[in-house]
Amino acid sequence: MINVDQKPITKRVAVAEGYVKMHPETLKAILTGNIKKGDVICLSKVAGTLAAKYTPMLIAMCHPIPLSDVEIEIIPSGKEALHVKASTVATWKTGVEMEALTAVSVACLNIYDMCKSIDRGMRIEGIRLLYKSGGRSGEYKAE
């Protein structure tokens, strides 16, 4: 791990995104509540939130961070995808980028898991950091 003992405590924010591409029929089944395992969007938001909180257990050398907020948004993107976006916030000595990226990744994996019985060809794509602020390196915005 990196020693963050001497780093100042500042407000840290990160936003990440990803997409789950699928057949139009799969998206329709999700949106109409016709997935046997339950409410895909609701449960995937919960999975993403839990993933953000457990990031130090999943990512080697990642510091435990006292998150003050995690928000997951899952909305349709066209007729063949769900767009997953996660925002994480903490006032701490190190950033929350990994928490946002982990939240998106696990939310996408949860969507896949809940829908794989009807669409094994789903693809998880485009997971990336959109924005981060706080700390020594300051602000970052994806192009």
**So which residues are the catalytic ones?**
113
Instruction: From 97, 118, 114, select the one nearest 44 (Cα to Cα).
Output: 114
For residue 130, what are the CA distances in angstroms to 86, 87, 112, 124, 126?
Answer: 10, 10, 22, 17, 11
Say how many C-beta atoms besides its own lie within 10 A of residue 110's C-beta.
Answer: 24
The contacts of residue 41 (CB under 8 Å, 6+ apart) are 30, 74, 82
